[in-house]
Chains A and B, each alone.
Chain A
Amino acid sequence: MKGLWKYISPFAPDQSGAAAVLYGLGGIVVICDAGGCAGNICGFDEPRWFSGRKSAVFSAGLRDMDAILGRDDLLVRKVCAAAETVGAAFVALVGTPVPAVIGTDFKALCRMISRKLNVPALSVPTTGIGYYDAGMKAAYEALLPALTQEESAVEQGRAGVLGAVPLELADPDEQQVIAEMLQREGWKDVTFFDCLEDYEQAGRNERNFVVSPAALKGAHYLYERFGTPYEIRYLGRPLPEDVRNAVKGQRVLVIHQQIAADAIAEEVLRAGASFVQTAGWFLADPSCIRPGHIRLKEEDDWCQLADNDAFDVILGDIYFKRALPHFTGLYIDMPHFAVSGRY
């Protein structure tokens, strides 16, 4: 039944994706919610929250009367009061279902805040309905024009990586792995757009690498503004030997975000798989979509695709296996934090 999910818990929502991109940039991030959405972001979707590295992520603490009366002035007052404590480079408002339903005018709120605080205020009008990648995409779209500084000279050997937030990474050390991989290729300075300076100095990048479809539009913006070329590339670890052996001569299904799924599919084919199919619930940009890729919408779509003997091997987050009681093949776990909240 459309809308009904019996086996799989919901994926990381758009506001978590937005908050992941905004994390640690030195701004005040206000999740415009009643409390639960911010709690989910910090307690579940943002592993950096427990790392000891503090970030000013706050909940607006909306209450029923705020929603009924539209007390924007109260929210502005709360933000200004927080700004007295936390000196912030910018203020970012992140949407949730409550402002989506009551039709909050984020642009007006941003104008009011930036006028009072004299710092840029931007909004990411997420709704809690979309997936994390939609939120990431919206956050890049809001941040890049607001924070990047005017043109600066390109620095040879400086690379930017867009989209490498924990929700997209396979393990907590993967950013380090990516940096080392690119350094081995001769890139001297690798930035991840996870601090304010990376945005301000984005024009200095010789090249940007895009590891998530959610960052494609952001990379394209930088290309148009600074002429920085970008490359869509999966920078995760290669498949282990036992997995490469397991897929030989097999019909394989890969389920992940598009860029990862494509790269894994190619690797699986090189390892000798007889057939590879990719599928996913997340953004599938035309520029990186694999021919024949199946876009899933409902849990039922997944059951119809894989809860049978059509594939011998499935590579994907183990959480998806719950919905496949009739699949008798080999399921190989490839954790996706945005799905199961684990590495």
Chain B
Amino acid sequence: MEHKHSQPYAITVQDLVRRGKDQIPEELLSSEHLIYNSPAALAFNSPGAQGFGVKRAGLSIPGSIMLLIGPGCCGRNTTILGEQGGYQDRFYFYILDETDIVTGRHLQKIPQAVAEIVESRREKPSVVMLCMTCVDALLGTDMERVSRKAASVCGVPVVPCYMYALTREGRKPPMVDVRRALCSLLEKQPRHRRTVNLLGFFSPLQEDCELYPILRQMGLVRIQELSRCRNFDEYLAMSQANFNLILHPESWLAAQDMEKRLGIPSITLTRLYQVSQIHRQYMALSRALGSPIDDEPWLEQACQAVDTIRTRFSGVTVAIGGMQNGNAYEMALALTRYGFIVREIYASLSPDDFVYLRHLAQWSPDTEVYSNLSPTMLYYEEASHPVDLTIGKDAAWYHGTVAHVNWDDDIQPFGYAGVLSLLRRIGSALEERGHSTR
């Protein structure tokens, strides 16, 4: 392979802000170039293999199973999920052949397949998810109708979910729609004034997250998360919530659907790593709900942790990736404010990120932004971009020899507790690598 321009494409935060959100360079827009599948970016192109993709997310309802309908290639990486994730007996495949695709005969057979699966199980599943792929997207299959037919045949709820990578940059990308699908079985019930749902993640918030006691301060006695539902009845009880807290932006469609069908309104909270902004967000929540919030003890603890990390590691150079539990740009801004020097960011960029970039341009104008997906990343060489620490699995791939914080656990960091955990992990990673503390 001959190298022509053997430099990965990068642009400084300062230059990005100068260009503005309407003129993001083509090199940072995945729709404008071929997509490089570097090991760093695999979670983007194969979310089923790492983290929560549609397949794993679609099995979030307790007791559910999934029938994946598509050519064999679409189910290939499910082997990993079955092996490592404990999903082995929850996946089934209806493998399409050419005749199915040409004649659509599989649509007639799916109800029978679902019935055969349900019958073969010792315990009836709570719900059967039908996972569809690009083929049925292109064929324009009405899978809602097929699901209704299947449900009537097997006597178990059947819900379609859509693994349409083709619509990734559309209005309802797969990970947005799967969250809606997961809430679609909820039916209208009397709402409980002191019950709230936390929407957004497929695994719970960290146990020590202050959001739980803060919500209890406000009189909310039942705090529900899909991932903490132990059985189908607990899942169904989510429709009793007084309101939803949206913790991940990809939950907007689910929240909208719940508002429309069940009359449950929602409030959005953003995952942040800037302590001052977390405080402001809680105060805004307090105003929105008309109930006081005292976050002082957690705020103080977080501020102390920031002071300590600043004293110990100020000046440490960092590279931040997009494959981690946070917004790379917001995290870069937070860490810069805490005394770190953020040299590089590898992440997708959307116009919404300019909220953080504008501030980052003042604090750290020379921070460079790369796209993991750009073909030019073939030529990224660690030696030319030295840093002390990486955050995110993708960043770790580029810098094999430095301190790493992968920060991609299933358990979700949030709020002050998230900041404390992150700073603790950063401290440990740097200490392990022998970075001197002051």
**A30 interface residue (CB < 8 Å to B):** yes
- Residue pair A3, B96 in contact (C-beta under 8 Å): yes
Contact B30 A61 (CB under 8 A): yes
Determine if A36 is an interface residue (Cβ-Cβ < 8 Å): yes
Give the residues in chain B near A35, CB-CB below 8 Å: 35, 44-46, 165, 168
Q: Which of A14, A33, A78, A128 has the most CB of B within 10 A?
A: A128
B138 within 8 A of A: yes
CB atoms of B76 and A87 under 8 A apart: no
B34 adjacent to A59 (CB under 8 Å) = yes
Note all chain B residues with C-beta closer than 8 A to A67: 138, 166
B167 touches A63 (CB 8 A): yes
B137 within 8 A of A: yes
The size class of the interface chain A forms with chain B is 35 or more
Which partner residue on chain B sits nearest A339 by CB separation?
A: B79
B96–A33 touching, CB < 8 Å: no
CA distance A137 to B304 in the complex (A): 63
- B96 / chain A contacts, CB cutoff of 8 Å: 3, 129
Determine whether the beta carbon of B112 is less than 8 Å from that of A87.
Answer: no
Given A34-B165, A49-B39, A58-B36: A82 in contact with B375 (beta carbons within 8 A): yes
Tell me the minimal C-beta distance from B312 to chain A in angstroms. Answer: 33
B contact residues, total (Cβ < 8 Å): 70
Q: Taking A43-B50, A101-B138 as contacts, is the C-beta distance between A62 and B78 under 8 angstroms?
A: no
The residue among A61, A98, A102 with the most chain B CB atoms within 10 A of its own CB is A61
Nearest chain A CB to B101 CB, angstrom units: 7
Task: Establish whether residues B167 and A10, one from each chain, have CB atoms under 8 Å apart when the complex forms.
Answer: no
Question: Is B75's CB within 8 Å of the partner chain A?
Answer: yes
Closest residue of chain A to B373 (Cβ to Cβ) is: A61
The reply to whether B76 and A10 form a contact with Cβ atoms under 8 Å apart is: yes
Binary flags per residue of A68-102, CB closer than 8 Å to B gives 1, else 0 = 00000000001101101111100000001110111
Instruction: Establish whether residues B375 and A85, one from each chain, have CB atoms under 8 Å apart when the complex forms.
Output: yes
A249 in contact (CB, < 8 A): no
Closest A residue to B3 by CB, please name it. Answer: A87
Determine the residue in chain A with the shortest Cβ distance to B114. Answer: A4
A15–B74 Cα distance when bound, in Å, is 11
User: Once bound together, how far apart are the Cα atoms of A42 and B138, in whole Å?
Assistant: 24
User: A82 contacts which chain B residues (CB < 8 A)?
Assistant: 33-34, 375
Segment with Cβ contacts to A, from B86-94, B153-161, B215-223: B86-94
Report the minimum CB–CB distance from A288 to chain B (whole Å): 24
Whether A3 pairs with B1 at a CB distance below 8 angstroms is no
Interface residues of B in 357-401 (CB under 8 A from A): 375-376, 378-379
B residues near A131, Cβ cutoff 8 Å:
72
B34 touches A60 (CB 8 A): yes
Instruction: Name which of A16, A43, A319 has the most chain B CB atoms within 10 A of its CB.
Output: A43
- Contact: B109 with A40, CB < 8 Å? no
A44 at the interface (CB under 8 A from B): yes
- Do the beta carbons of A4 and B76 come within 8 Å of each other? no
Query: Does A340 count as interface, using CB distance less than 8 angstroms?
Result: yes
Chain B nearest CB: distance from A96 CB in Å? Answer: 7
Residues from chain B with Cβ under 8 Å of A57 in the complex? 37
Asked if A98 contacts B166 (CB within 8 A), the reply is: yes
At the interface, yes or no: B280 with Cβ under 8 Å from chain A? no
- B30: nearest residue on chain A (CB-CB)? A61
B288 at the interface (CB under 8 A from A): no
CA distance A22 to B116 in the complex (A): 40
Known: A5-B93, A33-B165. A64 touches B70 (CB 8 A): no
A115 surroundings in chain B (CB, below 8 A): none
Contact B375 A40 (CB under 8 A): no
Asked whether any CB of chain B lies closer than 8 Å to the CB of A160, the reply is: no
Contact A34 B375 (CB under 8 A): no
Question: What are 9 A-B pairs at a CB distance below 8 A?
Answer: A12-B76, A35-B168, A36-B48, A40-B76, A57-B37, A86-B2, A97-B71, A101-B134, A129-B98
Other 20 A-B pairs with CB < 8 A, given A63-B168, A67-B166, A81-B375: A3-B106, A4-B117, A16-B76, A33-B165, A34-B166, A35-B44, A35-B165, A36-B45, A37-B73, A43-B49, A43-B50, A44-B49, A61-B34, A64-B164, A82-B33, A87-B2, A97-B101, A98-B166, A129-B72, A340-B79
The 3 closest A-B pairs by CB, nearest first: A39-B46, A39-B45, A87-B2
